Amino acid sequence: MAIRRTKTRVVFIVNPIAGNSHTELFPDFVKRVLNHDRFCYEIVFTEYAGHAIALGNEAAKSEFDLVVAVGGDGTINEVARELIHSDKILGIIPSGSGNGLARHLNIPLNFEGALRLINTGNQSKIDTATINDRAFISIAGVGFDALVAEKFANDPNRGFLTYFKLAAANYQSYQPETYTIIIDHKREIVAEALFISLANSSQFGYNTTIAPQAVLNDGLIDLCIVEKPTIFDMPLIANLLLLKMIHKSKFVTIHKARHVEIKRSGNRVVNIDGEPLMLEKDLVIDINPLSLNIIIP
């Protein structure tokens, strides 16, 4: 007698206000595209800021095998942080504004394509990281990057145009800060930087690549120190970001590290996977190798 295989249990955690996606249509896509012979599922929608953290925590303690974040990098962070160092598997249905992690992983940027990827069940392990014990999956950053992330979070409009307008409006007046950076407990750098990115994956989002050589399973963080270019250099910088060649700019220095300490002049906002968070002035960043199971192409 044939043994009946148990279906994989899936919960979709959907942020209904992420980006410009029509998430109200998502359940219909699941009904039509998901392989129902292989999966049984539930769909839950977040109802307030931070709700995805609670839902991710519940899912991590439940019978679900696969926990799928439907949203942008911030939603992915909130769900994924609860699954780190567990046997649960993260799935991603990108529906945010920038979708940096999904772009890095080559996950389709539409509901149907991303669900077909879920159907494959193809999984791998990736690194995650922490900044003062706050988990991030893709990128954290300080300086101008964090300032724009804060303003973007408070703007009712989404999308690249809004992000670009905010960056352009604040660029000229922004004064670079001096940072003391310690790499792997032994190398100290003092840098005056426009911003510093701590990249586990390569992208900010919108196809802008800040760390072209970042790898999600190499056990390393790409520490990207960016000096402030003149306004006349900005077109070239923009092109290098889009062409995945920013590491060739004279304004950018990238170091690979397992442990980073950053000393700032005061408590300020930090960009954590696209979401602003006020943290202490001294920052400690560590990599957690192969700590998250994830569905990938």
Q: What is the pLDDT along the chain (297 residues), one digit of tens a residue?
A: 344 458 999 999 999 987 767 888 999 999 999 999 999 999 999 999 899 999 999 999 999 999 999 999 999 999 999 999 999 999 999 998 889 999 999 999 999 999 999 999 999 999 999 999 999 999 999 999 999 889 988 888 887 888 888 888 998 899 999 999 999 999 999 999 999 999 999 998 888 899 999 999 999 999 999 999 988 888 888 888 888 889 989 999 999 999 999 999 888 899 999 899 999 999 999 999 999 999 999
Fold match between domain 8-121 and domain 134-289 = no
d(Cα 270, Cα 132) in Å, to the nearest integer? 11
Class (C level, CATH) for 8-121:
alpha beta
Give the pTM: 0.91
**Strand residues in the chain grouped as ranges (E):** 8-14, 39-45, 66-71, 89-94, 123-131, 134-136, 139-143, 177-183, 187-193, 195-199, 203-205, 208-209, 221-226, 252-257, 259-263, 268-272, 275-279, 282-295
Q: Please state the separation of Cα 281 from the chain's center in Å.
A: 22
CATH architecture of structural domain 134-289: Sandwich (2.60)
Domain ranges of the chain: 8-121, 134-289
